[in-house]
Every structure is written in C-alpha cells, then in structure tokens.
Amino acid sequence: MLIDTHCHLDYDKFDADRADVLLRARQAGVEHILIPATSLENSRSVIALAESAPMLSAAVGVHPTEARTWMETSRPEEQLQQLARSHRCVLAVGEIGLDYYWDRDPHELQRDVLQQQLGLAAELRLPVILHFREKGDAPDGPCAADLLEILRAWVDGLSSRDDPLANRPGVLHSFSGSLATARRAIELGFLLGVTGPVTYRKERQDLIAALPLASLLVETDGPFLSPQPWRGKRNEPAYVRLIADKIALLHQISPAQVAAVTTENAIQLFHW
C-alpha cells in the first residue's frame, strides 16, 4: 500500500480523465491521496473533490504566494476553521509556508500569514503541510532560516502546553533544502516529503540516502515534478510508486519496506 500525501488533483490538468487517474492509482497500489489547498476559494473546491471518493482527503489553507488574498479577505481564519470543522475529510492545514522564489508578496506578510495559519492548526489540532522555496531554488538561505525560526517557536509553544500536536506537527512537502535544514526540521518533529526529482537529481538522491526512512513521506505534487521516465509530462498519483522504488534503491531495502514505513508515517501524521 502507498499513500500519495500531496497531489493537486483538483487542477484542471486532471479534468479530462480524473476518474481514470484514480483507477490507475489504485492499480498501482495507491490507497489514499491527500489534496492540499492553495487559497480560501480553492479550499472549498478541494473539499468537494475529496468528498467524492473514499480514497481522497483534503487540507485547507492559503499558499504563501496567495498571502495577499488572506489580508484582503474578511475573517479568513474563521472561514477556514468552519470548513475544517464541518468536513471530516479535512486532515491538515496546508499548503502553507514561505516562498522567496517568486517574491509576489512581501516576506513580512508571508511570515505573518503563516503564523496565523499555524495558530489555526493548533486550534484545530491538525498537522500542517509546509511549502518553502528559496530565491533561485538555492538549497539553503533566508527562507529556510525564517521558516525554521517560526516553526521552532510554534512547536515550543505546543510542547509547553503538552499539546499532542507537538509530536506530529506536520511535513515539509517536496523537500529540496539542505541536509542541515532537514535535520533541524526532523529535530522539531517534522516529516519530509519526497517527490519526483529524487529519481534524477544526484543532490536530492544524496540527501534522501542520508535521512532516516522514519522521517519520510512519498508524494507526487501532481501535476508537477514527474519522476523518470515521465519527466516533462503530467504527474499523477500512480507514479508515487516510482518515487518509493528509488528510495528503496537509495536505502538498499525493498520497495515493500519503503511502502510500509512511509504509509505508517502518513497514518500517524494525518490520523487516517
């Protein structure tokens, strides 16, 4: 069994054959797919899709490149809270975080919106799905530093209240940072999502080989980041098996072991 812990299945690139995509996923051994949101409006559509099939779940949240819409919306936190509490398919708050690559919104605004959504996650007792991207796609830099500082304060606050969420705070999805950032995130209790580039990027392979399997999740981030041999084409949940197979080679274990451990990691994080 495999779980695709991050796929934008609601995107229009899946409109023509979404039912077939789910069928191929099941045939590949994928039993569950989590669909993250990127905006308040998108959170509603993600929930509607997740409620259409038992193998789907949702996350609600506002992506850092949409931070300005958070400030332009009336009581966005209350709206997301209502959505999460009204729909059992919602298992996380995300996709939230920081993005210094596109520079669409001021970094200070992004940090403020992230902290508000972390507060929401604490109220809901839901883990978070985190995005972070450096300028120029550098492996390390101010984005990672700012994110880790915010996350450390948040987890410390959870721990001081003996909140069980401190033991399963979330995942840094499609992790592309440095080994040092990965280790600091793991120390805080976060898992790391592994995506298609691990099948063709040497630096990503070296990183994943150096990390414990107990800290990893597999995800496609479909329709983006297709693994080999589908690089450059639309990604879909069935291809998560190729990512698991590559992790198995890097860790010199069987694909079945990777599937078992990453699935258990996902179950423990999202409380499926």
- Alpha-carbon distances of 234 from 8, 14, 29, 176, 223, rounded to whole Å: 11, 9, 19, 20, 5
What's the average model confidence in pLDDT over 207-218? 98
pLDDT confidence band for 104 (50 / 70 / 90) = confident
State the total domains in the chain: 1
Q: Is the pLDDT of residue 165 over 90?
A: yes
The reported pLDDT for the residue numbered 272 is 83
E strand segments, 103-229? 128-133, 170-172, 191-194, 216-218
The reported pLDDT for the residue numbered 103 is 79
Q: Which CATH number fits the domain that encloses residue 262?
A: 3.20.20.140
Q: What is the pTM for the complete model shown?
A: 0.97
The domain in which residue 232 lies consists of: 2-270
Structure confidence by residue, pLDDT tens digits, 58-79: 999 999 999 999 999 999 999 9
Q: Is the pLDDT of residue 51 over 90?
A: yes
Q: How far apart are CA 56 and CA 147, in angstroms?
A: 29
For residue 199, give the amino acid letter: T
The percentage of residues in the chain with a pLDDT greater than 70, rounded to a whole number, is: 100
The percentage of residues in the chain with a pLDDT greater than 90, rounded to a whole number, is: 99
